[in-house]
Amino acid sequence: MHIAILTFEGYNELDSLIALGVLNRVRTDGWRVTLATPSPRVTSMNGVVIEQMSTLEEACAADAVIVGSGIATREVVEDPAIMQVLRGLDPSRQLIAAQCSGALVLARLGLLDGIPACTDLTTKPWVVAAGVEVLNQPFYAKGNIATAGGCLASSYLAAWIISRLQGHDAAESALHYVAPVGEKELYVERALGNITPYLPVSAPALV
């Protein structure tokens, strides 16, 4: 099971790396989480350089994808080479999630037609201009597409993916591990409360 986190130049560390950390709390054979980048190295908005773990092409074949956020997302959606590759994303065969300005990528790919989205306050007008309704909440999902708004909501996307692919107990365990000491039960309850209404009754299942 491959989960790819799309991570572009100028990426937001909280968006990509929190999701990476939570997703990697799953310890099962074949579970692989990668940062998928358009080049061998990308630099974050704060100067953190990471090396490519998988390509965008490999991400388009993954079981689940998170489109990360960053300060250069508007440049990403205007890059024909990147967008041509990302047209290979297909919610009929993979889970697709977007963090903050990643919702703009999904909007420009036409994957949010008729689907409202969550995003950060800076990105909101761009997503609205792309014809997508923006919700005032941290998480929303419909079918195999999910969006989250606010950097720390990245854990919700990770938990949603874990729930869909490994089940409720695995998601609860991953969240419990990363939650602050003394607040674990409250944190897990609130996080699961945000994603559970959007899980299919038959979860885990990729449908």
Tens digit of pLDDT for each residue in 79-103? 999 999 999 999 999 999 999 999 9
What angle is formed at CA 60 by the lines to CA 115 and CA 168, rounded to 5 degrees? Answer: 65
Let me know: does 16 contact 73? Beta carbons within 8 Å.
no
Beta strands in the chain (DSSP E): 2-6, 32-37, 41-43, 49-51, 54-55, 64-67, 95-99, 139-142, 145-148
- pLDDT tens, N- to C-terminus, the chain (207 residues): 999 999 999 999 999 999 999 999 999 999 999 999 999 999 999 999 999 999 999 999 999 999 999 999 999 999 999 999 999 999 999 999 999 999 999 999 999 999 999 999 999 999 999 999 999 999 999 999 999 999 999 999 999 999 999 999 999 999 999 999 999 999 999 999 999 999 987 644 454
pTM, two decimal places? 0.93
* CA–CA gap between residue 163 and residue 148 (Å, rounded): 16
